Structure 1
């Protein structure tokens, strides 16, 4: 009779189905997340600026030029002098898509001053401008309309630098005005149906009547 011990069968540790450990380490989660959700490609400054402007005015299709610092002036017919409007910030000269109801698909353009001092942005439809003149440090826009107190004249002071930002922007405003003026597509002032979410949240931009009216109120106080 043999006294050799009988070898034991290896034991298998069985986990109940509700006790199976889950794999949740950081590297595994990160790998799964990366494979499913790839990071969006980086956007240029122009693309970022365009997305911001389109939140105000979705019809803006392209930024033609940018001035990092511009100040809006209004011309007072009574005193025959320039007055600061209180609006200053980044200025954009923009091309816009044609109006949906325009069968001729005529081009549009505007000057958009995004105020850094408040919510009162200024948008000038270049098709409404009767004359553009570059005089000294100002780009002068003479806006046509049914004004009781005379024509509205807006002056844009653009900070100059080594790259000649003032001259470049002035030339692009003048060229864009000629194209928009020749097309003749004018959008009436008032609530804009094309307003984006940002404009809907803060209200429409200042109209020229409101801009000049505010200047007259400030002068009379």
Structure 2
């Protein structure tokens, strides 16, 4: 007589809807991974804006960019254009209204971020009396409290297949008309962001033209 075959024990199964608990180590690792996730990528425009705001916090929007621009000054005595030694990326920027301006009028500037040194050029378009596109130059006639009636700057902008020179020239002219009509001129000069505080204020036009005279010996 054969012995009865013992029954095989049944395995205890977890219900299909039961989720195993995560250990403390796994939980901490998940939190750390979440905390150190890389931030979402920013566009070139956003990166450029953050750089400019470290110089001038009032810059709110970039209207146009020229990758390569050269600043010239006009010597009225010699009736000739001279290189200023400032060249780099040029930005046409909209700025937030002055804090004391209850009418919140628009402002705009041209910012040349020099790649050859720490001397950047910032031109408040409300101080510009006239803008003209002449040949390869965008000419800015800047008014101010100096002996001569005005300082004249020429911006040479590298042209390319996208017609960058004409596009930037047109945007400078349009931004100048808006800023000039608003008439919002700050008497305190441009504000200084962290980068400006680190390297000093932007080069003034008096200094720019004075340095040019020293270089030419006139």
Same fold flag (TM > 0.5): yes
- Taking structure 2 as the reference length, the TM-score comes to 0.85
Listed as ranges, the gaps of 5+ residues in structure 1 are 1-22
- Residue 189 of structure 1 contacts residue 207 of structure 1 at CA under 8 Å; is this kept in 2? no
* C-alpha displacement of 1:153: 0.2
Three-state SS of the structure 1 residue aligned to 2:54 is: helix
1:198 to 195, 199, 207: 195
Distance 2:185 2:41 in 1: 36
Match of 2:78 in 1: 79
Partner of 1:18: none
Instruction: Please state whether the residue corresponding to 1:112 is helix, strand or coil.
Output: strand
Q: Find the aligned partners of 1:179 and 1:150 in 2 and give their Cα distance.
A: 23
Distance in 1, Cα, partners of 2:73 & 2:45: 29
List aligned pairs for 1:68-217, cutoff 5 A: 68-188=67-187, 190=189, 192=190, 194-217=191-214
Q: Give the match's secondary structure for 2:156.
A: strand
- 2:32 and 2:210 map into 1 onto residues whose CA distance is 56
Q: Secondary structure at the match of 1:56?
A: coil
Q: Is the CA contact 1:73–1:84 (under 8 Å) kept in the aligned structure 2? A: yes
Cα distance in 1 for partners of 2:87, 2:80 equals: 19
Task: Note if contact 2:143-2:149 (Cα within 8 Å) is conserved in structure 1.
Answer: no
Deviation at 1:29, TM superposition (A): 7.2
Would you say 1:41 and 2:28 are equivalent positions?
A: no
**Count of matched residue pairs:** 195
| CA distance, structure 2, for counterparts of residue 184 and residue 126 of structure 1 | 9
Quote how far apart the aligned CAs of 1:34 are: 1.5
Name the TM-score, length of structure 1 as normaliser.
0.84
Map Cα deviations across residues 33-86 of structure 1 (whole Å, 9 max, x no partner).
212333211100000000000000000000000000000000001100000000
**For the Cα contact (< 8 Å) 1:65–1:92, is it kept in 2?**
yes
Q: Pairwise CA RMSD of aligned residues?
A: 1.7
For residues 215 and 183 of structure 1, the distance between their equivalents in structure 2, rounded to whole angstroms, comes to 32
Is contact 1:77–1:150 with CA below 8 Å preserved after alignment? no
* SS of match in other structure, 1:169: helix
